[in-house]
Amino acid sequence: MRNRNILFKIVFCLTVIFLFFSPVFALEIDYSEEIKNIQKEIEEQQKTILDLEQQKTIYQEKIEIKRNEAISLKNQISLLQNQVLEREIQIKEIEIEIETANLSIKNIQFKVLEKKEEIKDYQKDLKAVLQTLNQYDQKNQLEIFFSNDSLSEFFNHLRYLNTLQGDLTHLLKKINLIKEGLELQEKDLRLQLKTLVNLQSDLKDKKAKLASEEQTQKNLLEETRGVEWKFQSLLAQTLEEKQDIENEISSLEGKVRQKMANEKENMAEMMEKEGNIVFSWPVPLEGITCNFHDPDYPYRNWIGEHSGIDLRASQGTAVRAAASGYIARAKHGGLGYSYIMIIHNDSFSTIYGHVSEILVEEGEYVKRGAIIGRSGGLPGTSGAGSFSTGPHLHFEVRFQGIPVNPKDYLL
């Protein structure tokens, strides 16, 4: 009976100890194990990215072959299909990179927590050493000497004090080293967060381009009805229209600048208010579907380089003047290409293409931000023109008549 009581007491004590300490055990996290698991996931993601890179290379080679072949409807459709497939891989790749960046951020956060736990542990040791040293500081050397029974005990105390001071120095160095490591981890975390933001922006642009390329493929089939001679006819018509617009813009730039020079005194006051030219975005930035001289421009191999940037915009979005200036051209193209051209000073001009509605008149002076028209680009609608890639605004910046990259001047 006595043995049973003793056994019961032991079991009871162990149960109390377990219940008391179990919340503490539950709160403890093995950061090193979490870090290893995340690192493993990151490595797997990186392998997937390498596989996608190989697939992307295959489509890039196919695209290059099609670009070098004779211009035909069949080749153009095949080119667009390969571009769409390549773009889908690019999107998948960026999505995985975003997942990897999120994992890296989580990994760094665990490392930061691990460092903080290390600092806490060393701070406890530091506190204990400081408390001991503080007790000795409150006594003078004579008190310590007379409190010991022998000289050897006194010297043992002195050696112990020296050891404590050495421990104190060691702990302080250790804490400083961990803090430096913590600062590096936090800096790395900020860089990863910045990378994540850039990747999310890139993903948005790639998705906008994919939607544009898919729409282009669909439009091309609808406009030609899959017939080669219709494609060649539209191609000839588009090339002629493009050349006519280029001639018109060059001619207008010369005439308007000459007029500005003749009426310099009357125009100078208004034109000088702008100072150095910095352009505002003509529509809210929702994505760039085609860049300046974009190598992926679907009509590059037979129409030529893309002379501006295509800004994604819903049909009928308000188009605003990127800077103050004079309306040199407000061309209503019917179902053809409609555009607005503004001359800003002796060097710069801007062009707003595929507009579905024009709200200004030629010769009118407009201020920065003034609504000058409505965006278009939807195939078969007013101002869209042939081979439009869907709703967007085509925006150009020209320096002394030559197209330059708008991104270099947009604020």
**pLDDT at position 162:** 65
pLDDT tens per residue across span 55-106:
888 888 888 887 777 788 888 888 888 888 888 898 999 888 888 888 888 8
- How far apart CA 239 and CA 198 sit, in angstroms, is 37
Please determine, for residue 405, whether its predicted confidence score (pLDDT) is greater than 80.
Answer: yes
Q: Residue written as tokens 């891989």? A: 89
Dist CA 66 CA 248 (whole Å): 33
Q: Looking at residues 278-303, what average pLDDT do you find?
A: 87
Rounded Cα–Cα distance for residues 303 and 107 (Å) = 49
Token duo for residue 237 = 């018509």
**With 80 as the cut, is the pLDDT of residue 365 above it?**
yes
Residue 355 pLDDT class (50, 70, 90 cuts): very high
Residue 114 φ/ψ region, left for φ over 0, alpha for ψ in the -120 to 50 degree band, beta for the rest: alpha
pLDDT digits (tens, 9 = 90+) for 200-258: 888 888 887 788 778 778 877 877 888 888 888 878 887 888 888 888 888 887 777 77
Copy the structure tokens of residue 273. 């208010």
pLDDT for 6? 43
CA 24 to chain centre: 42
pLDDT of residue 5: 45
Q: Give the pairing type, strands 325-331 and 392-399.
A: unpaired
* pLDDT for position 8: 38
Predicted local confidence at residue 30, as pLDDT: 67
Whether 280 shows a pLDDT value over 90: the answer reads yes
- Compute the distance between CA of residue 161 and CA of residue 277 in angstroms, rounded to an integer: 72
Rounded distance between C-alpha atoms, residue 340 and residue 165, angstroms: 80
Query: Residue 124 carries which side chain, given as an amino acid letter?
Result: K
- Model pLDDT, residue 360: 96
CATH of domain 29-222: 1.10.287
Q: Which residue, chain included where needed, has tokens 């006819």?
A: 233
Q: Is the dihedral of CA 398, 399, 402, 407 positive or negative?
A: negative
Token pair for residue 74?
């069949």
Calculate the dihedral angle through the C-alpha atoms of 275, 278, 282, 287, rounding to the nearest 10 degrees.
-170
CB of 301 within 8 A of CB of 323?
Answer: no
In the chain, where the domains are located: 29-222, 228-408
pLDDT at site 279: 94
Look at residue 24 in the predicted model and tell me its pLDDT: 36
Distance CA 385, CA 334 (A): 8
Single-letter residue type at 363: G
Q: How confident is the model at residue 371 (pLDDT cuts 50, 70, 90)?
A: very high
Provide the CA 315 distance to its chain's centre, in angstroms.
Answer: 26
Which pTM was predicted?
0.64
Give the Cα separation of 398 and 404 in Å (integer).
Answer: 6
Place of tokens 């701070």: 123
Residue that is written with structure tokens 């800004």 in the block = 311
Cα–Cα distances in angstroms (integers) from residue 162 to residues 4, 20, 153, 386, in the given order: 53, 39, 14, 88
Confidence of residue 331 (pLDDT cuts 50, 70, 90): very high
- pLDDT in the model for residue 404: 95
The CATH number fitting domain 228-408, selected from 3.40.50.2020, 3.40.50.1820, 3.40.630.10, 2.70.70.10? 2.70.70.10
pLDDT at 159: 63
Predicted confidence (pLDDT) at residue 311 exceeds the cutoff of 90:
yes
pLDDT given at position 167 = 64
pLDDT band at 189 (very low <50, low <70, confident <90, very high): confident
Tokens 């813009």 found at: 249
pLDDT (tens digit, 9 = 90+) per residue, 107-125?
A: 877 877 777 777 777 777 7
Q: How far are the Cα atoms of 260, 284, 381 from residue 315, in angstroms, in the given order?
A: 34, 13, 10
Model confidence at 385, pLDDT cuts 50, 70, 90, reads: confident
Which of 208-222, 252-266, 343-357 comes out lowest in average pLDDT?
A: 252-266
325 phi, psi to nearest 5 deg: 170, -170
Least confident of 205-214, 312-321, 400-409: 205-214
| Tens-digit pLDDT profile for residues 163-188 | 666 666 776 777 677 777 777 777 77
- Map the chain to HEC letters: CHHHHHHHHHHHHHHHHHHHHHHHHHHCCCHHHHHHHHHHHHHHHHHHHHHHHHHHHHHHHHHHHHHHCCCCHHHHHHHHHHHHHHHHHHHHHHHHHHHHHHHHHHHHHHHHHHHHHHHHHHHHHHHHHHHHHHHHHCCCHHHHHHHCCCHHHHHHHHHHHHHHHHHHHHHHHHHHHHHHHHHHHHHHHHHHHHHHHHHHHHHHHHHHHHHHHHHHHHHHHHHHCCCHHHHHHHHHHHHHHHHHHHHHHHHHHHHHHHHHHHCHHHHHHHHHCCCCCCECCCCCCCCEEECCCCCCCCCHHHHCCCCCEEEECCCCCEEECCCCEEEEEEECCCCCECEEEEECCCCEEEEEECEEEECCCCCCEECCCCEEEEEECCCCCCCECCCCCCCEEEEEEEECCEEECHHHCEC
| Burial category of 127 from C-beta neighbours within 10 Å (exposed 0-12, middle 13-18, buried 19 and up) | exposed
pLDDT tens, position by position, 8-58: 343 334 333 333 333 333 344 567 788 888 888 888 888 888 888 888 888
Max CA separation in the chain (angstroms): 121
